[in-house]
Amino acid sequence: MKNGKIVVVDDDDTIISALKTLFYLEDFSDAELFTEPKLALEYLKDNKPDLIISDFMMPDMNGLEFLSKANELYPEVSKILLTGYADKENAIRAINEVGLYKYITKPWENAELILSVKNGIERSYLLSQLREKIDELEVANSKLEDYSHNLENIVAERTADLMESNAKLQGIFSNCADGIILTDDSGNIEQVNQAFENILGLSQENILKQNLVKIIHSSKNDILVSLKSEDGDFFCRDCTVYNSLSEKEIPIDISFACISEDSVVKRFVGVVHNISEQKEADKLRDDFIATLTHDLRTPLLAAIQTLKFFLDGTVGEVSEKQQLLLSTMKKSNEDLLGLVNALLEVYKYDASKIDLCKTNFDFKTLVEQVYAELKPLADTKGIEFKVNYESEKDFKINADRSEIRRVICNLCGNAINYTNNKGKIEVTVKNQENDLIFTVQDNGNGIPQEDIPNLFNRFSQGTSKKRSTGTGLGLYLSRQIIEAHGGKIWLESKVNKGSEFSFLLTDVIVDEKEENSKKIVIVK
């Protein structure tokens, strides 16, 4: 195992201290740890590492930006992204954009992290060796032209070098912990290593008789189309293979790279990673959060009800100071209950355990109810708050009324919270044929363009310039609700000019002529 140079970037001093201690205990003596990405980049310009580890959420430069710049300097060095529970999507994006070796969620298991560090260093070392051999082959080719008069001797020398290189490559191929497959652009498997045989529970002879698309199943990636159309690297996730020995479906991720772009028949090498343990860990973590949030509701409700008894005088008179303290306690418990409920709703949507209860209801009536509830909040800040309807005629939509109400309350409530005093908020409702478009526009401070892609992610709080005190779940849950209805939600914003949040629901307008009775439809 090569004890290589490690560069770590994390703005949290606690994380830096923990990693420093862990590296010391595991005898990783050559490690440089930084709390600022810019300082790390300056160091990387003059020092080549064997592994780069970066946190995702950092104030001046996020992990994706940092790793992209580091990748320009050292594309073959393994890179690990440390993410929170809510940053999976960004981690997947990093795999596609940066060529990330792996992402590890916080809090991590020390054994898993150390194993990933060792494998990452080994991977960098092997890739470096491969690159050196490729460079040697290129030099050899140029010398063949210069020394054509002594072609026979040179060919003999280079053949020996190639045999040595092939022997090393074969060693890497055979002993790699991940599965490796070699295929042409039609998906015909030409070679596999022992690790891939173990994943399928089949011998190489049986595997070579089959086509790639018959072995690897994917609902999100058309592998055969990608092999035909892609010239370089591409990544397939959420795939499965069937293990004939255990008779179980094995979840895998595959990274493909073209190794013969100039040939008539392109060939690809695919690295297959068994993610069974990762999937199981994710499931256990999700179930733990769901159980925890669910079990917290009962004591919180009991505490709130008890405080109500004190406040309404049921258990006796309380003084004015006691009333103030009890009210503060009740409000804090209600806020905590709201967070617990939000977390539980997020889990249900993530786990696809939510059922939409769709009914036909008057959309204008719903908007007016929300408007009446939020208008006093806008008045306290002197905000001009109004609703415009494209059509004066009432209309009904078929959707989950309570969930759509949640989205409208969230968008309008956010607009009121983030609009300055005496500002302006305008809600617009449009119905085009069978589609509904709902828009909330304000003239507040606006949102920087670099923050917009992350705003609908879990636990996204404010922007890089200003953070909110909320849970960071409102917009994420709104996106989940709208997408569960088959719709789309988006944002347009300009700094110092304001923001415009909109959502679109397609084919939801109810034709009153065809509506014979109100029907409840359960969508799973």
Residues 446-462 have pLDDT tens digits of 888 888 877 877 655 55
Amino acid letter, residue 488: K
Strands 488-494 and 424-432: unpaired
pLDDT in tens, 239-258: 888 888 888 888 888 888 88
Q: How many CB atoms lie within 10 A of CB 100?
A: 22
Q: The tokens 């060919």 sit on which residue?
A: 155
Pull the structure tokens for residue 194.
């022992």
- Cβ proximity of 398 and 359 under 8 Å: yes
Per CATH, 6-124 and 356-523 having the same topology is answered no
Does 98 score more than 60 pLDDT? yes
Residue 240 has a pLDDT of 86
pLDDT bin (cut points 50, 70, 90) of residue 520 is: low
Token pair of 384 as six digits: 């001009």
| pLDDT tens sequence across 290-304 | 676 666 766 777 778
| Mean pLDDT of all residues in 459-485 | 67
CA distance 386 to 379: 11
Q: Token digits for 274?
A: 């068994």
Give the global pTM.
0.44
- Tell me the three state secondary structure of residue 40: helix
Q: What is the pLDDT averaged over residues 373-383?
A: 90
What gap in Å lies between CA 404 and CA 295, rounded to an integer? 26
Distance CA 410, CA 418 (A): 12
- Of the candidate ranges 180-189, 241-250, 358-367, 511-520, the one whose mean pLDDT is the lowest: 511-520
b/e per residue, 252-283, with b = 16+ CB within 10 A? Answer: bbbbbebeeeeeeebbbbbbbbbbeebeeeee
The single-letter code of the amino acid at 326 is L
pLDDT higher than threshold 50 for residue 524: no
Assess whether the previous peptide bond of 299 is cis (omega < 30° from 0): no
Is pLDDT above 50 for 467? no
Amino acid identity for residue 36 in this structure: E
Cβ atoms within 10 Å, residue 220: 8
State the average pLDDT for the chain: 80
More confident call, 123 vs 149: 123
- Residue 37 burial (10 A CB sphere; 0-12, 13-18, 19+): buried
At residue 398, the pLDDT reads 93
N- to C-terminal Cα separation, the chain: 50
**In 147-244, which ranges are continuous DSSP H helix?**
151-175, 194-200, 204-207, 212-215, 223-229
pLDDT band at 58, cuts 50/70/90?
confident
Contacts of 313 (CB under 8 A, 6+ apart): none
> What CATH superfamily classification does 356-523 receive?
Histidine kinase-like ATPase, C-terminal domain (3.30.565.10)
Q: What gap in Å lies between CA 522 and CA 356, rounded to an integer?
A: 6
Query: In this prediction, what percent of the chain has a pLDDT beyond 70?
Result: 82
In b/e form, how buried is each residue of 450-486, taking b as 16+ CB within 10 angstroms?
ebeebbbbbebeebeeeeeebbbbbbbbbbbbbebbe
Percent of all residues in the chain with a pLDDT value above 90, rounded to a whole number: 14
Q: What CA–CA distance (Å, rounded) separates 153 from 522?
A: 78
pLDDT band, residue 385 (cuts 50/70/90): very high
Q: Which residues of 43-68 are buried (b: 16+ CB within 10 A; e: fewer)?
A: ebeeeebbbbbbbbbbeebbbbebbb
Is a pLDDT exceeding 60 seen at residue 1?
no
Residue count of the chain, please give it. Answer: 524
Identify the pLDDT of residue 298: 66
Q: Is the pLDDT of residue 522 over 70?
A: no
The domain spans of the chain are 6-124, 176-274, 280-350, 356-523
Mean predicted confidence (pLDDT) in 45-57: 88
Q: Enter the CATH code of domain 176-274.
A: 3.30.450.20
- Winning range, highest mean pLDDT, from 30-44, 51-65, 256-270: 30-44
Q: Once rounded to an integer, what is the mean pLDDT over residues 59-87?
A: 83
Reference 371, options 386, 383, 358, 356; nearest CA is 386
Rounded-to-10 torsion of CA 305, 311, 314, 316: 130
Q: Which residue's structure tokens are 């059509």?
A: 391
The band of 203, judged by pLDDT with boundaries at 50, 70 and 90, is confident
Query: What local confidence, expressed as pLDDT, does residue 352 receive?
Result: 59
pLDDT value at residue 490? 92
Residue 354's nearest CA partner among 363, 344, 366 is: 344
Whole-angstrom distance, CA of residue 164 vs CA of residue 129: 12
Provide DSSP, 349-408. HHTT---EEEEEEEHHHHHHHHHHHHHHHHHHTT-EEEEEES-SS--EEEEEHHHHHHHH
CATH architecture observed for domain 6-124: 3-Layer(aba) Sandwich (3.40)
pLDDT of 85 over the 70 cut: no
